[in-house]
Structure 1
């Protein structure tokens, strides 16, 4: 239900943009309707549903480590479908960054990697990671014919159709019972991580390779911990600093390599 409400906000924003600024969008080709639906359904709908489902059975720290495999899948898929070259420095950057993420998410949680109580939950989260990687690689290919904004809007709107079978009576009950705080959270999740986040993701993919851009996902735990410190005064440990340094070092290695190639 959270996924449905979140994407409902996204659809309202994108439909409004289409009506108010139609000239800003590339024309949707008939041949791309089905591919866009599949791209949106698998990369957005299935990703969020899988992540939300998996986190019911897998600890937040464990699911975060599993999701951190996205750049690995992106590198593999991009080398196959986009013919992006996998260099030794990219492999080194991935290894450094994922080690940093594991350290960050296991700080103060000695059993964090052993908290996966249900294998099915872990596998569903892993499936979500694969879907996100496929979304990135397929989206990169579509950017040859569509702008970043157009691609994001069409993919989100068409993909959201796949949520219709998941609508249940409990959704309307939960919407009716939601507080102002609840609505604020849903609107925030819809506007910033989804609308702004997905558009900027494709803007970045217009500029650089998919394997390079996906590496920046490793920076998420670093930023989230810093924001948690600012807002909630959560402690920052030396292990976090060490893990964050590995993440940044991995990003530096990959992007230094790509700069030389360019």
Structure 2
């Protein structure tokens, strides 16, 4: 099996794990077992431990001092802002809302690629940006939840911040994957992320009542750390070693499908007309954004 196929499988698995993560994380948070920032800190503690304990499996690479600043930036966007806004957003919105909004990631990656990597954007791409954002706005303003404690507008806004932050992270690590093995920089990214997020979550970690966890919550908690964090953060840069950032980001389309099916099966969310219309607009926008311009003929 060639490296490109393996990269495509890795990108696919990332979205499957993320798609399941919406429901598992939402159930832990909405159930009141762990508050959002506490969950983030525990997520980073567990994943940082896994990266450093398995460090011996990877050939040692010397890191240039100037790159540590890039490591720190990737950590801020990929671990801190990304995770904090995602879990806090899930406290106020629903799994299907969150997964649909995450499909704006390819739009953000395209915009950032044009600015940072100097890639060209066509008029069709621009139209796609506006259509996709229109879908996200409709979902945020008119979407409703059956949970009386939800604040859909605030929750969706936080998920949008999460999507933008994750897009920036993808652009940054694309550069890092060209120079280092993923394990080489990920262990440092998570260590920096752990240090930076500790002030936000340590009180919520201390408040966790572990003895109240039923088996399902233990499983959901473990899945988020092992598969939706450690697994996805290993697989994403592996995919980026063979694929463009814009290609990897388009796999996010799989998330709403996985998240919706799983949430509906477990009864964690429901479909309505607003969600369907918003999803269609976002998918159309994403399609136009990722559509390659036709070559000019004379």
Give the TM-score category using the shorter length.
0.7 to 0.9
Please, what TM-score do these two structures have when normalized by structure 1?
0.73
1:27 counterpart residue number: 62
* 1:148 and 2:153 aligned: no
Give, in whole Å, the separation in 1 of the partners of 2:102 and 2:288.
Answer: 21
Structure 2: distance between partners of 1:235 and 1:134: 31
Cα distance, 1:254 vs structure 2: 4.5
The residue number in structure 1 matching 2:50 is: 13
Aligned pairs (5 A) from 1:1-262: 1-18=38-55, 20-23=56-59, 25-87=60-122, 98=132, 111-112=142-143, 117=151, 121-174=155-208, 176-179=210-213, 180-228=215-263, 247=283, 254=290
Structure 1 portions without partners, runs of 5+: none
Task: Kindly state the Cα deviation for residue 163 of structure 1 after the two structures are TM-superposed.
Answer: 1.4
Q: Are 2:110 and 2:246, in contact at CA under 8 Å, matched by a contact in 1?
A: yes
Question: Does the CA-based 8 Å contact 1:219-1:248 persist in structure 2?
Answer: no
Deviations 1:193-234 (A, max 9, x none): 1111122111222222212221111210112234456777x9
Mean Cα deviation higher: 164-173 or 202-211: 164-173
Could you tell me how far apart the structure 2 residues matched to 1:70 and 1:150 are? 26
CA distance in structure 2 between the partners assigned to 1:31 and 1:129 by the alignment: 27
Q: How many residues align?
A: 251
Q: Is the 8 A contact 1:90 1:253 kept in 2?
A: yes
Structure 1 contact 40–159 (Cα < 8 Å) conserved? yes
Structure 1 residue 5 displacement after superposition: 1.1
**Shift in Å, 1:70:** 1.8
| Residues 144, 152 of structure 2: 8 Å contact kept | no
- Answer yes or no: is the 8 Å Cα contact 1:40–1:155 preserved in 2: yes
Shift, 1:81, TM fit: 0.9
Q: Is the 8 A contact 2:93 2:145 kept in 1?
A: no
Q: Which has the higher contact order (CA 8 A, sep 6+)?
A: 2
The 2-side partners of 1:237 and 1:6 are apart by: 32
Secondary structure in 2 matching 1:68:
helix
CA distance in 2, matches of 1:200, 1:81: 23
Task: List gaps (5 residues or longer) in structure 2.
Answer: 1-37
Paired with 1:37 and 1:77, the residues of 2 have a C-alpha distance of 19
| Cα deviation code 1:47-79 (max 9, x no counterpart) | 111122233344554444433322211110011
